[in-house]
């Protein structure tokens, strides 16, 4: 069965520290997609990134970067120079078939001033 594991339940860092959120997935599909979403305290789910299984290039967007490694079935998310506004719950997800998301349990990130 397909599965997404976010082993870190909660992480606390001090502002300006770098932090990495781990995501490990299981799938039997050869073609698949992975996602990261952010859920700030206001509650909405905000799409951050989509990555397909054929593209192992790391991606950087401002202070955010993602490291996709098929060899270890991981899709980790790093925030550089964290800020208080980064405080949120972050979800990793894998798509099953054409539409069904399998979400991880989320990692709560607290960035302290």
**Contact residues: other proteins, CB under 8 A:** 31, 33, 35, 37, 42-47, 50, 52, 91, 95, 97-101, 103, 105-106
Which tokens is 106 given?
């989320």
Half-sphere exposure of 45 (CA within 13 A, CB side): 10
Name which of 50, 7, 43, 27 is nearest 102 in CA terms: 27
Shortest distance in whole angstroms from residue 57 CB to other proteins: 16
Toward other proteins, which CB reaches closer, 46 or 112? 46
SS3 assignment for 90-105:
EEEEEEECCCEEEECC
Toward other proteins, which CB reaches closer, 79 or 91? 91
Toward other proteins, which CB reaches closer, 70 or 100? 100
Shortest distance in whole angstroms from residue 110 CB to other proteins: 17
Shortest distance in whole angstroms from residue 91 CB to other proteins: 7
The Cα 50–Cα 78 span in angstroms is 15
């Amino acid at each position: 069965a397909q599965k997404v594991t976010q082993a870190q339940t909660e992480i606390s860092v001090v502002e300006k520290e770098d932090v990495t959120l781990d995501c490990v997935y299981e799938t039997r599909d050869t073609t698949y997609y992975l996602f990261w979403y952010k859920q700030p305290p206001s509650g909405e789910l905000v799409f951050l990134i989509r990555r397909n299984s054929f593209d192992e290039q790391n991606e950087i967007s401002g202070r955010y970067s993602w490291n996709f490694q098929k060899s270890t079935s991981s899709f980790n998310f790093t925030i550089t120079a964290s800020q208080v506004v980064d405080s949120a719950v972050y979800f990793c997800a894998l798509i099953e078939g054409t539409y069904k998301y399998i979400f991880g349990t989320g990692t709560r990130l607290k960035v302290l001033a």
